[in-house]
Every structure is written in C-alpha cells, then in structure tokens.
Amino acid sequence: MSKTKISMEGAVKAGELPLGFAARPGSTRNFKTGDWRSARPVLDREKCIYCGFCYIYCPDGVYQDMGPEEKYYKADLDYCKGCGVCAQECPKNCIQMLVEEV
Amino acid sequence: MSVTDSTKPVGIEVSLAMAEAVKLAEAEVVAAYPITPQTHIVEHLSDLVANGELEAAYIPVESEQSALSACIGSSAAGARTFTATSSQGLMYMAEMVFIAPMLRVPIVMAVANRAISGPINIWNDHSDIMSVRDCGWIQIFAENGQEATDLSIISFRIAEDKNVMMPFILNIDGFTLSHFIEPIVFPEAAKVKKFLPPYETTHKLDLAKPMSMGLLGAPEYYAESKKATDNALLGSKPYVQKAFDEYAAIFGRQYKLVETYRMEGAETAIVAMGSIAETAMTAVDEMREAGEKVGLVRLRLWRPFPVEEFRAAVRGVKTLAVVDRHFTPGFPEGPVATEIRALMYHEDDRPRMSNFILGLGGRDVPRNHFKYVVEKAKDLGAAGRQGQYEMVGVQE
C-alpha cells in the first residue's frame, strides 16, 4: 500500500455522474469562471456615458444593464474571466483592469 | 417478396446482406456518406428506404463528420441508428467517434476495413480501425458473411441493452468480405422482432424535458467522465456474450468472444482477426494433416478485450504467432501483438511469441503465409528470440 496521500481528487465520483455526462439545461450558471481571472474591470461611473459597449463586446455576457435610473452596466464577477475586452472597447476609457491580489 | 423472406440460403453480396439485416433490425435513422468499400451497405439501405421496405429516415449528409453528428443526435433523441464508413471516412469522422461513447448513444456503425492513405489505397487491412482503437466503442470483427449478417442484428441488441448503452463498431474486411457473394441464411423477421425489442433510450434528448448533452469536462470532472465511460465499456462484456447466447437459442448459430479452431493439444497457435482466419483454418487443417500441433485463436471481440477468454484459449501453448493487419511505425510490434504480449507478461507459463504483419493494403494472404509464420514463430521461439515484427513478403 502506498503511504502517500494524494490531493487534487475529482469533484464527483465516476459512478455518480449522470448517464452520458448529460445535465439539465443552464448548468453553465453553476460553473463559476470568475476564479480564472487575473485582473478585474473597475468602472469609473463619473466618466461612464451608459453607451453599452462593454455589454455588447463582453464575450462572456457578464455585464448586466442596471437600468435607466442607475445608468451603468455592472460586471458579474462570479463569471468575468478578466479578458479586458470591455476596457479596450470603452469609448470613454472609463474601465480599468485592476490586478487581482492573491 | 424480399430476399429476407427466404427460408433457404440466399446467394448475396455480404454488404447487401448486412443492409438487409439492418432492415430486419428496423433501424429508424441511417446517416452516411459513401466511401469505398463501405458504399454498397448504405447504398442498398437507401434503396430499401426509397422502395418503402424500410421505414427509416435516410439522411444523405455532406461528410462523415456530419454523418456521425447526425447519428449522435438521432440516437440521443431515441431512434435506432445505423451508419457505415471506411478508411479516410473514419479518419474524417474521428472527432465525433471519440465523443459518442461519453454520450452513451448506442449507434451501430459498420466499418469496412481499408488501408488509410498514403499512398492512396482502397484495399483491405486494419489500419483504419486500429488508428481509432482507443475511441471507446465496443469493437467486434466478423469473419464471414453469415457472421456479418447476424452481427448486424446482434450489435443493436448489445449496444441498446440498458446495462450497456454504448456505441458499437462492427468491423468487416473491405472487399475480401464486403464484396464477396456468399450463401446467407436470413433470420426470420418475426423472430428478429422477438430478439430485438424496440429501442428505448435511458436519457432522451427531448424538447418536452430539455437536457444538455456534450458538456465541458473541466479538470475536476474529465478523469471521472473517462473512468465512467471505461467502466461502461468493460462492464459490457457479459452482455455481449449474453446476446450471443440468446441469439443462438433462437437462431441456432452460436458465437463466442474468442473462437478457437483445432486447439486441442496445440503447441503453436496462430492469433488472427477478421476474414483471414478462414484462410488460416484451411492452413491449420493442412498443417495438422502433416502432423504439426497447431491451432487457431480468433479474436471476435476486440473492445472490451476478452482478457480471461483469451488467456484460457492459449493456456498451455508454447508458441504464439500473432498476426497484425496494421503496424505501429516506430515500435517493434503491431497493435494486436503489443496488447497480447502485455496481457501475457504476468502469466507464469507464458508462451514465446512472434509478430507477423500480413496483408497490408490488400496484399493477398495465401495459406502458405500461415505455414510460414508458424515455422518462423517456432524457430524464433526455440532460439529465444522474440523481437521486431516481420512484414511477411515485403521486398527490402
């Protein structure tokens, strides 16, 4: 018997996986990709003109419209992978990518 | 009146007989792209559908990748699904081939084995199937027309068994089996219905009850998913034999995972797969008549590998002459020999073993090649040498 205790085991048991590795629709919601991120978008609301470029360009659809009262789009950090496309495309240059501290 | 109504043997091309068997199995969807030497199977199926003899959707797709994609979808939606391919077609399909087992869709696919390019070659060897050996499908090799016909029905029964639910590849040698006209006894349609109940999927792709299939398997899930698929493949073995036994009870033709021929007291055994085993049997008969203690072991089931059945078949044999129809460039032995050597490594009383590559790209394999490999394997075994494969008859 090996005395070495192993780490990095799977999230589920093979025998408990659903047949065909199938799932109910919408399972991507449970897959939080925010921890892939090395930098997060930080919005300067003073400069934001509520144009929606960040919302349109975001490849992961993490921006949510906060409505005509609030007049800005908010990144859902549970899913934002920190690619920085929003910061690149913002016409007012009001999104900064802030490096995540571990 | 259809050929399958005949109670007497019918002289028919094996490809056509297989298509007729798929008709008897009442396949509901056929999606395929023509490629030599598989074409006659699906061509005849399209005739049967067009003539109203088979009530099925025949999907003429634009490629093999699309063919298997369509099959995966239809099988997931609950339709009994069949396709066929060969060589370059299987290569083009490969992306989807590896996905189907994870999805547990019991598609049956005939592969008319043909060499892969280059150089371009349309003739028979096993390089196509061996190149996707690790795809995770149940894989079986038929030897003759009757077996190919029977297996075209039994395959569905095994694949669709609730305890199995795995895709199934039925290998037949291109041309040397697919294009031969043989006397075939067709099983009676009413009895086939009894043997093969309608397909019911266990996890249906259904608009009324939506489900996602073909998901991402992140690092913390991927290994478990692969393990689950392998458990299903390994676990299918008893159900393969069970289906063979039940077929025998109804139709009288008994198949086994590993077949042996004249192995009583054999000191040397030829190990082969597919249609060349017929030639090997004749060669064994001639060698036996000349006093040679030789027999033949034929692997019918290739995946899951019938480990115990194979070991039992060769127990007590001194020398194995393992035949490969494909080789592994840069490695001393072909795929079949490599696996058999690995299986025998831990056996206390393991035989000497040599590997012979026969019939590459349609090169004919006459009886004397089997005599040659038996003599050569014995010589090499006696000398204690068991190394590099020999490509029999190759001019260097």
Å from B70 to nearest chain A CA? 17
Residue-wise pLDDT tens digits, B313-349: 999 999 999 999 999 999 999 999 999 999 999 999 8
Look-up of token digits 């075209």: B152
By residue range, what is the domain housing residue A72?
A: 37-99
Q: Where are the alpha helices (DSSP H) in chain A?
A: 53-57, 67-70, 85-89
CATH topology of domain B258-391: Rossmann fold (3.40.50)
- Average pLDDT of every residue of chain B: 96
Task: Please tell me if the domain spanning B3-251 has the same topology as the one spanning B258-391.
Answer: yes
- The stretch B191-198 carries a mean pLDDT of 98
Tell me if A55 is assigned to some domain: yes
Residue ranges per structural domain of chain B: 3-251, 258-391
- The stretch B241-258 carries a mean pLDDT of 98
Tell me if A26 is assigned to some domain: no
Q: Would the CB atoms of B215 and A27 count as touching at under 8 Å? A: yes
Look-up of token digits 């060769």: B314
CATH 3.40.190.10 for domain B3-251, yes or no, is no
Residue-wise pLDDT tens digits, B149-193: 999 999 999 999 999 999 999 999 999 999 999 999 999 999 999
- ipTM value of the model? 0.84
Interface of A with B in 9-68 (CB under 8 A): 10-15, 17-27, 31
The pLDDT confidence band at residue A29, using thresholds 50, 70 and 90, is confident
Task: Name which of B268, B283, B243, B259 is nearest B368 in CA terms.
Answer: B283
Residue-wise pLDDT tens digits, B86-107: 999 999 999 999 999 999 999 9
- The stretch B122-129 carries a mean pLDDT of 98
The pLDDT confidence band at residue B386, using thresholds 50, 70 and 90, is low
Residue B318 is predicted with a pLDDT of 96
Chain A contact probe: residue of B75, B200, B204, B211 with most A CBs at under 10 A: B211
Tell me if A3 is assigned to some domain: no
- The stretch B367-391 carries a mean pLDDT of 90
Tell me if A48 is assigned to some domain: yes
Å from A81 to nearest chain B CA? 15
Residue-wise pLDDT tens digits, B204-239: 999 999 999 998 898 999 999 999 999 999 999 999
**Segment (H or E) for B19:** helix B14-24
Supply the CATH number for residue A61's domain.
3.30.70.20
Half-sphere exposure of A87 (CA within 13 A, CB side): 15
Tell me if A47 is assigned to some domain: yes
- Domain tally for chain A? 1
